[in-house]
Amino acid sequence: MPESIDPQRLRLADDERASGVLLGVRCLDCGVTVFGPCAFCQSCTSDRLEPVELEGTGVLYSYTVVRVPPAGWPGPVPYVLGQVELPEGPQVLAEVIDCEHDQLKIGMLVELALQAVASEGGTEEKLVYKWRPAHPDD
């Protein structure tokens, strides 16, 4: 199975399914939670931090359909880039998959999804975190 694109931001579940959880850090002094690793609190500079697993569902804060991709982008074009706000506070940028462009709406619920991505011209695949519209009834 492919490895995580960034083990400090995405921990894969220890099973055969492509599932995982986003990682963050919570400050024990000011309570702020950030996405990804940090040695010092980004808000108050404290080093009293604890690792946390972040909610897998968030709210679409904004989005764009990228039609001219940056150099090295290994995915389809166009792609949807979503800015997603998690209940703990941090926002996470990632591609939004499995969606029709005209269904996208600020405020909609999205959930974490993982997708294997090969680098441009490369053979090695990595599991990358993405968002997809959430369907709570599924």
Partner 1 sequence: MNQMPQGREVVVAGVGLHPFGRFPEKDLATLAMEAVLPALEDAGVRWKDIPVAYFGHVYYQGMSVGETALGKLGLTGIPIINVENACSSGSTAFWQAYWGVTTGLYDLALAFGAEKVPRGPVTVTAEDSPDRFIGGDHMMAGYALRMRRYMEDTGAPASALAQVAVKARQNGTLNPFAHRNTTYTIEEVLESRPIADPLTLYQCCPTSEGAAAAVLCARESLGRYGIDESRTVGIAAAVLSSGSYNGRGSDHSAFSPYRTEPGAIQAYEMAGMGPEDVDLVQVHDAATIGELQQLESLHLTPFGEAWRATTEGRTSLTGDIPTNTDGGLLAMGHPFGATGIRQVHETVTQLRGEAGQRQVPGATVGLAQCSGAGDVTTVHILKR
- Would you tell me which residues interact with partner 1 (CB under 8 A)? 5-6, 9, 32, 34-36, 42-43, 61-75, 79, 81, 83, 89-91, 93-95, 106, 117, 119, 126, 128-129
Q: Which is nearer to partner 1, 9 or 11 (CB)?
A: 9
Under a CB-based contact definition with an 8 Å cutoff, are residues 86 and 53 in contact? no
Cα dihedral sign, 111-80-128-37: negative
Q: How far is the CB of 27 from partner 1 (least distance, A)?
A: 10
Q: Rounded to an integer, what distance in angstroms lies between the CA atom of residue 40 and that of residue 64?
A: 32
Q: How far is the CB of 107 from partner 1 (least distance, A)?
A: 9
